[in-house]
Amino acid sequence: MIWFKTYPLADVNRIFDSYMTKLLEIKAVEIQDNLIKATMPITNNVRQPFGILHGGASVVLAESIGSVASNLIVDPDKYYGVGLDINANHVKSATEGLLTATCLPLHIGKTTHVWDIKIHDDKQQLICISRLTVAIVEKK
C-alpha cells in the first residue's frame, strides 16, 4: 500500500466536498493499494458553449485526483503536495453521463510524484489521458 495510512472514502470525499471540486461534483469512489478513482458528472458546469465536455474540466478532474493522491501518501503533519506540471490529451468528446478518473503512480519520490490519470466515460471509452507531476513541499 502506498498510502500514509488507510483512508476511508468518506475522509477523501470531505476533501473533495469544497471549492472547485464541490462545484464540479467530483467524488472519490474507490481506493485500492496503489490507485484511487473519482467520478465527475457531465453537467452544464463542465460543458463548453458547444455542449461538449470542456477540456479544462477534464484537467481539473485529473489534477484534483492526482493532488489528493499525493497528499494521501505523505505525512500530513510534515508535508503537502501541490501540482507542478500537468498535460492532457483529449482523445474523445463527451456530452453526457458520468466520467471516471483512474489515478496510478508512475513515480513516487521524496520530492516529486508523477501520476498517470485516465478518464473514461460510462461506456468505458477513453476520453482523456493525463500526466500530473506533484511537488512535495515541507511544511514550515
Residues 6+ apart with CB under 8 A from 15: 21, 68, 71
| Side chain identity, residue 110 | K
Cell of 88: 492532457
- Closest-CA residue to 59 (of 29, 8, 101): 101
Catalytic annotation, residues = 63
